[in-house]
Structure 1
Amino acid sequence: MRTERAATLRVQNLSKRYGSGETAVQAVKGVSLEVSPGEIVLIMGPSGSGKTTLLSMLGALLRPTEGRIELDGLVLSELSEGRLPDIRLRHFGFVFQDFNLLSALSALDNVAIVAELAGLGRKAARARARALLEELGLGARLHFLPEQLSGGEKQRVAIARALVNEPALLLADEPTANLDSHHGHETMRLLRRIAKEQGKSVLIVSHDARIQDIADRVLWLEDGEFKEMRSLATDPVCGMTVEREKAVSAQWEGKSYYFCCRGCREEFLAGPQRFGKATARERE
């Protein structure tokens, strides 16, 4: 138990079931979790493991079938549908893999509009948005449209937007999926620094094993349940974390390599030298 500070997020026996009878699908099964202020938790797992369903429930976007979700003492799972939009606006910050920026608005306006929706005056909203964007290294890009920004810059605008209402919890869904390795890791390190400085709790769902070092805890979700991270390896082609026992494997120069699918294995075998950094890590 993490008792040093009251948990920002407390989840107890959370489940989500779709359908009924013999055709019912149990997407999430009795998950319990606590996230402390300033803590960064990374949830990993194979496709179809229930990660997105879990994140949607934690963000009050999807009703659980069973269980309890408590955010800063507010029991979200007991609130009416009518109260949830305001809760999402004021208590959560969302970071999506596709950025979800408004194409007709500048970086500054993409962030400020969220603060205005929460009731902040236009001048104060723009001042807060400007300060966040400058902290994220985008002071020279304030008036750029999304199409004029790189992928990494778009994601930093999305992070500023998620932070502008000073939420208790940031939820990030595959935040590095549309970024290359360098910019993805750099952006996540920036998010970690700001979260620590501001005491924000962060929960990230990702396939990207390369960002494990920015997390305080890494949890493995499979078949809708948290399981021990045993016998894991990194696919040298796509960077995904895979379970050795269930992965597709291949041998090269006396070493075993593990892949998320046959396509990655075939790409690797067609030219292993192209994945030199990844193969070097596997040898260590």
Structure 2
Amino acid sequence: MSYTRSALLLGYGYVAKATAPLLAKAGFSLAGTTRSGEKAEQMQADGIAPLVNPDAEALRAAMMAATHILVSVPPGPEGDPVLAMAGQPDLPRLEWLGYLSTTGVYGDAGGGRVDETTPPAPADERSRRRLAAERGWQALSDRTRIFRLSGIYGPGRSALDRLKDGKARRIIKPGQVFSRIHVDDIAATLMASIARPDVPGPFNLADAAPRPQADVVAYAAGLLGIEPPPEEDFATAEMSPMMRSFYASSRRVSGEATRKALGVELEYPSYREGLSAIYAAST
């Protein structure tokens, strides 16, 4: 029996919004969940049927009707909220389920390389919740595919925007590097996985240029023709506990195996191409 392909977006955040037009272009009917009435109006304008604060019965019904599910709802202190509400529904039409996780599950590599074969070793509570959520979604279906995302950036969410808002900082911690990925490359990789549902993953999404965040801010400042913010020593810089926690782990994330397995070529292989494109589109 053949079905019309229908994609359910569990959460309509930055990545889901970038992926939705590609799904629509591929012929999917789209529905999505949200807790915001304002976002529901945006979803309708984007051609997505909104499910606003669905109860357990409505959530399970939407999941059972979908051929493809993209999960971008983060876990909370009590675990994954979608799994807690939906339980273990039978998903008779499911062909693919993508769960958006984080490379934080690899923990601290001391600036060393991690790849898709590296065993997870989360070092903080947020990452431990992510790993538990990964396993919960994998237990739900053998069609679940795990996508471990590096730092996400793109239009409206980049070092360029932070500089314009006066919020960019150049924190210096020797040996510290971050990996990142442009939102459009995430969306393209998700579509490549949908086209190759036989490839099991897990998948790492990271560009080929892990660098200190201070370097990225300096490059963005050069594009804007302004002086970068002054360097601040990590040891003495004033930061919130949340911000400081981001510097607790350092790793160079490789997504080479993911790109090879799915036949993906990054449109933005480093932050330089990504930020330059964002800047060009805004001028």
Same fold (TM over 0.5): no
Higher relative strand content: 1
Return the TM-score normalized by structure 2: 0.30
Which of 1 and 2 has higher RCO (CA within 8 Å, sep 6+)? 1
